[in-house]
Structure 1
Amino acid sequence: MSAIFDHAQVLAVARKADSAQRLTMEDALILAESASLPLLGSLAHRARLRKHPAPVVTYVVDRNVNSTNICQCGCRFCAFFKAPGQAGGYSLTREELGQKIEETLALGGRQILLQGGHNPDMGLEYYEALLHFVRETYPDIHVHGFSPPEIVYFAGLAGLTVPEVVARLKAAGLASIPGGGAEILVDRVRQAVAPAKCSTAEWLDVMRQAHLQGLRTTATMMFGHVETWAERIEHLLALRDLQDETRGFTAFIPWGFQPDNTALGGRKCSPQEYLRVLTISRLMLDNFLSVQASWVTMGREIAQASLWYGANDFGSTMIEENVVAAAGVRFRMDEPGVRQAITDAGFKPVRRAMDYSLLESL
């Protein structure tokens, strides 16, 4: 990485970060483009310890359930979707969903992450009925579902506002909302990689409305495709501003773009690039309690390293995962494997719920 800022500038920003002062866009660019990775790791780990001083790393047992792979968006980074009418498209039946939930319960899981493509045959009423089915049949299951682009899509199909759709999904049984579909929260990038998805302002407004209605959500960033460092930092600033306003985000999860089998193509995210983004995220998002490692995209060893570079959470056991797998990335760990990975990295594993309440004693 070429140094475009001098050593004195890097040290000045490092001292600012180490004293827990809020960083600016320029500060973040100085660190991202000129600081060494060991320095960034040290700063991010100390920032993590200020919020989580105990040697504990949390994780959740859940399953990603994709209700349909039929999607009319055609995002250039996605290897999972099938266009309407294309061979290989599917929509889960209630029986199939029930079987997946029962398998999750048998493995000790109490949560599903329910997401799907923008399928014109599956709108708001379909998902309301699906949520009612889950709530009535499996009352112990927490449904963490429907990313902001899906909710904007449901609103358009139904001719309703986003607050109305959020209220109806919540009434039907939705318990929290994942941060998917954020990619990079800069409209230039969104137009280049996912022009049919919601805008930056729309994504943020779904999260704002969810928080106002008492739903907790996560936030994500998929990086390493067409964005610049400045645009990555703009994404982080947008999240930080909304968190200042609502305090509704529980965690931030960054992961690197996986190019195989996608229309966008390109190179895979290197471990060094991933750790650099992770550290900058921890330092910029000073109002987020938790930052999650991404073993599903980066693998066990890099995820373990992440725990010393700002992450305090190991994410999900991912009983099932299809979207990243469609891009040819197939890292797998069951709950004992996740616990062992955390232990081997030097921390105590503790199981949690979506809201980061602990499900076992420290």
Structure 2
Amino acid sequence: MTLDPLRPIAPWAWREAGDALVPPPPHSAADRWSSVPTDELIASLASDEEQLPDPGAALALCGGDHPAAALQHGADTLRRQLAGETVTYVINRNLNFTNHCVKHCGFCAFRRDAGAEGAFWHGFALLQEKARAAQAWGATELCLQGGLNPMAREAGSALRYYEALLGALLEAAPGIHLHAFSPQELLFIAEQDDCPLDTVIQRLREAGLGSVPGTAAEVLSERVRRQLCPEKLSARAWCAVVLQVQRHGLASTATMMTGHIEAAADRVAHWFTLVALQQRAWQAGVPGFSEFVLLPFIGAAAPEPLRRRVGRDQPDRSAMLTLTAQARLLLGRWLVNHQPSWVKLGLDGATEALRWGCNDIGGTLMEEHITTMAGATGGTSRSPQELSSAALGLGRPVRQRTTLYGPVAAEALPA
């Protein structure tokens, strides 16, 4: 018997996700804005702080030919108003604990079948060793993400395995923040155990889950997802899982993977959907999204069909900076913290993004496998000194932060 893929999701979340999911606007929506100067177009996006900007204006901004200097200035000005001058970073360690996965996404170079060349599934002892080392180096966060491994069970239960995983890491690194499990992973756990998603979230929170990465979003447009990742959870399901995560009081990040087959209208739909979800979180009195991270597509080792369609192995930096500015302008006051990916852009590219709307330079990571296996050239680890120097080189102050952008306790600061 095949499980209903919606069964774990709460009916209220599925309904609200349908309301929150913004469709891509038609090309004609931008017509009346096509001759409006860039500065006026940018000003119109901030005219009503309580409502979404006009979809036509947003599409005109994202699909039109605008001077890069005007976009950069507008985004950097808004960044300064919302987030100030200080650049933040987090000392964290990335733990990709398995790449065994039952899905076959068209962009993924990370997933493997069990037993295949390059497949891995780390045991708790190794992960605990990495956690202890990270905390000794000053890390305040462990970021856990992995493939959808159907063998990851304890006493026949996927949920018990993930509870045990969190418990093992907290035993090794007491008090560290566990930023773990994408919406796709959470839904997979619920499906594996045929139990409500609320049960999964609550029990993982009790086991130490501190916040959730907003990955697996890719582009929240079904047109794109049907081509890019048809086996993955739908855009509506991603929104529903996020709604349930946030209603439990857990913050999540928000991401978008861009620079492949999506169009400007798809990006507008994605960003407006994030705003709609954030509005619902704040209305419910919960934190919602803590940050937005733009994730450029890396094609060097991606599956050949998508690589041929995109025709580029590494991100187009100027295009990514433009998208960084557009994201800041369209997300407005609803998502204050914006972060580039130095793994994908290189540290120099990420540093430049701090001039295009970003206020955070990311984390130290210490290790990284998902993007690196796709062929990224930005590296897998950065020291706190390197991240600080990037900000100071722009004449901006810098400070270490927690996962949720709070101050770091004095005893946790590196010597």
**TM-score, length-normalised on structure 1?**
0.94
One-letter code of the match for 1:164? T
Deviation at 1:314, TM superposition (A): 0.5
Does 1:354 pair with 2:403?
A: yes
The aligned counterpart of 1:297 is 344
Does 1:62 pair with 2:111?
A: no
Mark the runs of 5 or more structure 2 residues left unpaired by the alignment. Answer: 1-29, 153-157, 283-287, 411-415
Tell me how far apart the structure 2 counterparts of residues 118 and 329 of structure 1 sit (CA, whole Å).
22
Does 1:342 pair with 2:376?
A: no
The aligned counterpart of 2:67 is 36
One-letter code of the match for 1:36? P
Does 1:275 pair with 2:311?
A: no
The aligned counterpart of 1:14 is 42
Deviation at 1:84, TM superposition (A): 3.2
Q: How does 1:77-226 map to 2 (within 5 A)?
A: 77-122=107-152, 123-226=158-261
Structure 1, 186-195 or 4-13: larger mean CA deviation:
4-13
Structure 1, 326-335 or 277-286: larger mean CA deviation:
326-335
Tell me how far apart the structure 2 counterparts of residues 183 and 304 of structure 1 sit (CA, whole Å).
23
Is the 8 Å Cα contact of residues 109 and 302 (structure 2) preserved in structure 1? Answer: yes
Q: Give CA-to-partner distance per residue, 1:272-329, whole Å, 9 cap, x none.
A: 1101111111111121111112211111222111111110001111111111111221
Tell me how far apart the structure 2 counterparts of residues 24 and 46 of structure 1 sit (CA, whole Å).
21
One-letter code of the match for 1:120? P
Deviation at 1:360, TM superposition (A): 6.9
Tell me how far apart the structure 1 counterparts of residues 54 and 324 of structure 2 sit (CA, whole Å).
17
Is the 8 Å Cα contact of residues 218 and 256 (structure 2) preserved in structure 1? Answer: yes
Tell me how far apart the structure 2 counterparts of residues 360 and 223 of structure 1 sit (CA, whole Å).
36
The RMSD of aligned alpha carbons is 1.8
Tell me how far apart the structure 2 counterparts of residues 10 and 330 of structure 1 sit (CA, whole Å).
34
The aligned counterpart of 1:311 is 358
Deviation at 1:106, TM superposition (A): 2.1
Q: 1:331 aligns with which of 375, 378, 381?
A: 378
Tell me how far apart the structure 2 counterparts of residues 285 and 271 of structure 1 sit (CA, whole Å).
21
Figure out how many residues of one structure are paired with residues of the other and give that number. 358
Q: How does 1:212-251 map to 2 (within 5 A)?
A: 212-247=247-282, 248-251=288-291
Mark the runs of 5 or more structure 1 residues left unpaired by the alignment. Answer: none
Tell me how far apart the structure 2 counterparts of residues 203 and 71 of structure 1 sit (CA, whole Å).
18
Q: Give CA-to-partner distance per residue, 1:23-76, whole Å, 9 cap, x none.
A: 2221122112222211111111111111123x2100001111011011111111
Q: Percent identity?
A: 33
Deviation at 1:331, TM superposition (A): 1.8
Tell me how far apart the structure 1 counterparts of residues 253 and 367 of structure 2 sit (CA, whole Å).
19
Q: 1:262 aligns with which of 296, 302, 311?
A: 302
Deviation at 1:136, TM superposition (A): 3.1
Tell me how far apart the structure 2 counterparts of residues 237 and 339 of structure 1 sit (CA, whole Å).
32
Instruction: Return closer, same or farther for 1:20/1:103 CA change in 2, 3 Å cut-off.
Output: farther
